[in-house]
Amino acid sequence: MHLELDDTQRMVQETARAFAEKTLRPNAAQYERDEKIPASVLRSLADLGLLSVNIPARFEGAEAGAVAYALAMQEIARGCASTAVTMAVTNMVGEVINQFGTEAQRERYVRGLATGELVAGSFALSETEAGSDPGAMRTTATLENDRWILRGNKQWITSADFAGVFVVWARTGGPGTAGISTFLMPANTPGLRISKHEDKMGLRASSTCALVFDDCELPQDALLGELGHGFRIAMMALDGGRIGIGAQACGIASAALEEAISYAKDRTQFGKPIADFQAIQWMIADSQTELDAAKLLVMRAASLKQAGVAFSREAAMAKLFASEKAGQICDRVLQIHGGYGYTRDFAIERHVRDVRVSRIYEGTSEIQRTVIGRMILR
Ligand code: COS
């Protein structure tokens, strides 16, 4: 078993870390106040290869693999969790098109995402009545005069107001998971409307919107993969996406823990730094141990993905454990900060809000347990 990183992985990690330290971490609070990630940040992510970490070089991707991607995600999330989720969804969209797309689709969209020309990708699966149960989706795609016409709504769509391409799931057949297909929809498609912008608790610099498909017309070659295979495509994309969210949670918890260590050394009570108290030492010890365990689970899932073997269960375990432990770590770090941690003067207040959704999106903790339990018991 090798725990050492190779040269490429180390280089991607260092590139992401340097960018996060210099550009993201000092400005993350401002991005949150602005409720916007600057376009220059997205441009830089593309230029650094961080929107295409696991995309082949022939489409301008970094071709650095799934492990490097998970490492980069941790570093970017350590700097700004909102930027990290934008990066995560764009990488996931690029990968799903690369995996299932035709050569023409890959040339147009995978290359466009990698170079930054398309700015970002959006993943349009969830609906108001279809969150944990995407098989219940109601959006339809019907073939009319040789064109696909999409009608319906989507919910919780990351980056929808600036993404250049949407991967959209719609019902082309009967009810349930078998009747779903996947489509590629450029942002300028007539009838595509960005509706509600969500006013979220955290990740406030990332945009989350609802979509309306008002007779959206797409050519026949907008179909991604085979007709009726959409549910499987979504599940496979989410397997990879869950590694990214596990890594994001680790990145947020890493930032929080570093801040706790520094605060505990500085803050004096009863005549000595609070780091000298065993109560604080134990909180830091538990947090570091859990964080290391979460990172190892994320790395295991990423390594399996990179090796081309089944990783659904391991990805669910990594996402479940990392998101839950990261939440506990951030809560402990706030406790270490005392009253100051409850103010916007310290970043931990933002980390606590940002990390919370990692137990919800790309599959709730309850869904991860369902996936893991089913796979163990089948
Ligand atoms: N990879 C490949 N195929 C998969 C798969 C995976 N990880 N998971 C399921 N499938 C396939 C199954 O093999 C099955 O195929 P067949 O019909 O050919 O047998 C099909 O998909 C349906 O699977 P299943 O019957 O397990 O579907 P369910 O409706 O019971 O749903 C869960 C399974 C709950 C695991 C799934 O709906 C899920 O992950 N939900 C959470 C969705 C989510 O993460 N939403 C957040 C969106 S992003 S914010």
Q: What is the pLDDT of residue 1?
A: 76
At 185, phi and psi to the nearest 5?
A: -125, 115
| Span(s) in the chain for CATH 2.40.110.10 | 122-227
Q: Characterise 271 by phi-psi region: left (phi > 0), alpha (psi -120 to 50), beta (else).
A: left
| Span(s) in the chain for CATH 1.10.540.10 | 7-119
Residue ranges in the chain whose pLDDT is less than 50: none
| Span(s) in the chain for CATH 1.20.140.10 | 231-377
Q: Which atom from ligand 1 is nearest to the alpha carbon of 176?
A: 29
Q: What is the pLDDT of residue 306?
A: 98
Domain 7-119: give its CATH code: 1.10.540.10
Q: Does the beta carbon of 125 lie inside 6 Å of ligand 1?
A: yes
Name the DSSP class of 361: T
CA distance between the termini of the chain: 28
Give pTM, 2 decimals. 0.98
* Pairwise CA distance, residues 378 & 372, whole Å: 10
Note the residue count of the chain. Answer: 378
Query: Tens digits of per-residue pLDDT, 310-342?
Result: 999 999 999 999 999 999 999 999 999 999 999
| C-alpha torsion angle, residues 283, 286, 288, 290 (rounded to 10) | -140
Distance 233 CA to ligand 1 centre (A): 9
- Give the Cα-Cα-Cα angle 176, 211, 178 (nearest 5 degrees): 15
- Pick the catalytic residue: 127, 258, 362, 366? 362
Q: What is the pLDDT of residue 362?
A: 98
Q: To which CATH superfamily is domain 122-227 assigned? A: Butyryl-CoA Dehydrogenase, subunit A, domain 2 (2.40.110.10)
Residue located nearest, by CA, to atom 40 of ligand 1: 132
Note if 103 is an active site residue. Answer: no
Residue located nearest, by CA, to atom 6 of ligand 1: 235
Centre a 10 Å sphere on the Cβ of residue 291 and count the other Cβ atoms it contains: 20
Pocket test for ligand 1, best of 156, 231, 236, 243 (most atoms within 8 A of CB): 231
DSSP E strands, the chain = 121-124, 140-144, 147-158, 165-171, 180-186, 192-197, 208-219, 223-224, 268-269, 272-273
Question: Tokens representing 370?
Answer: 């369902």
Q: What is the pLDDT of residue 70?
A: 98
256 closest CA partner among 376, 156, 350, 357: 350
Distance 242 CA to ligand 1 centre (A): 13
Is it true that domain 231-377 has CATH number 3.40.50.300? no
Q: Does the beta carbon of 65 lie inside 6 Å of ligand 1?
A: no
